Amino acid sequence: MRTRLLALALVLSGCGATAISPQPASADIGSTRNARVVVERGPNAPELTYFAASMTEAELAEMKRSAPHLRIVAGLDRQDALRRAVEAQGADSSFASAEFLAAAKNLVWIQAHSAGVERWTSMPSLRDSKSITLTNMRGVHGPAIADHVFAMLLALTRDLPVHLAGRSSGAWLREGSGELEPCALEGKTLLVVGLGGIGTEIARRGHGFGMRVIATRRGDEPGPSYVERVGKPTDLLALLPEADVVALAVPLTPETEHMLDERAFSAMKQGSFLVNIARGRVVDQDALVEALRSKRLAGACLDVTDPEPLPADHPLWGFPNVVITPHVASNAEITDERRWALFRENLRRFDAGEPLLNVVDLKAGY
């Protein structure tokens, strides 16, 4: 046993497996899907300790009220956290090095503050652990990232780069760039690859623009009413020819790495757009460059690249029909609010011995 303070009880996977309340501040933040770990504590059990990378005095005071038996140690640097690792039953993922995991004999929970967790699921000491639960921020970033998807896409479909560039010289360029042909999204088909929390928000906005929305997802859950059809990942090549816009919103796993390769680009509709807000390595970047050079794609919107930062001499910078942003799609005050709401709720649940939200399947990688 890694800890004498805690007894871990398994519960069934799935939303209907156990009654869980209350919900976080916003009902659509967090998911009990894959909820498997309950932390049970007797009435005389000593307080639990959680290592937080940072927390304000106001946040600490709020947590003291909602999680009175939880001792939060905030502001440790990596060396201090490693030296005191044996104290922790829970910790932020920023501390989760191989050395920390080896030293943290009582650790049972790690909270990632991102949706993507490939950095941690690739660590054998965590991936193969029988006693440590990893939770993530699935569902937190969706609204801001989905807005960013359409900001980038509209920049291309409305030929905005040339007009933005003309501001410095006062240029009135009614003829546009000559590189991008303005078009409307109404009636176009949007394919969302990965209909999770972020993908669902992208689909919702696509529907709002009057687009026909189709999608893929790994699970068997039905799609929302505004998604016409939901296929499996194995259906991707069959769906690509239908799409005017392909938006990637999948986690990076061995199965999704280079999902968009030369074969996939060949299957895409001539003159379609690619939007990638997932991970750079989901796309074979050499194949993307060729698809742009050959005019297979009308354009690409990239908030993620491989590598990051993208080198200044990379050919992607030279395409006038490519919008690149530096992995900032989630930046917004709503993201910070939703992240805190989910983190606060998981800390409360940890203290109360309730199932945690957003438990990651360590084998699947998300």
**Nearest 10 degrees: Cα torsion 161, 162, 167, 169:** 150
Q: Catalytic: 127?
A: no
User: 82-86: long-range contacts at Cβ-Cβ below 8 A with a sequence spacing of 24 or more?
Assistant: 84/51
CA gap 52, 70 in Å, rounded: 12
**Nearest 10 degrees: Cα torsion 168, 159, 147, 194:** -140
Chain centroid to Cα 112, Å, comes to: 11
Convert 214-242 into a string of H (helix), E (strand) and C (coil): EEECCCCCCCCCCCCEEECHHHHHHHHHH
* Total number of residues shown for the chain: 366
Catalytic residue among 281, 327, 339, 344: 327
CA gap 249, 344 in Å, rounded: 26
Residue 278 region by backbone torsions, left for phi larger than 0, else alpha for psi between -120 and 50, else beta: alpha
Question: b or e along 74-112 (b: 16 or more beta carbons within 10 Å of the residue's beta carbon)?
Answer: bebeeeebbeebebbbbbbbbbbbeebbebbebbbbbbb
Cα separations (Å) of 122 from 4, 96, 117, 307, 309? 28, 12, 9, 18, 21
Three-state DSSP class for residue 81: helix
Q: Catalytic: 308?
A: yes
Q: Catalytic: 138?
A: no
Catalytic residue among 141, 205, 212, 279: 279
Convert 92-160 into a string of H (helix), E (strand) and C (coil): EHHHCCHHHHHHCCCCCEEECCCCCCHHHHCCHHHHCCCCCEEECCCCCCHHHHHHHHHHHHHHHHCCH
Chain centroid to Cα 299, Å, comes to: 23
Of 182, 192, 114, the C-alpha closest to 146 is 192
Cα separations (Å) of 221 from 186, 234, 366? 27, 16, 16
Active site residues: 279, 308, 327
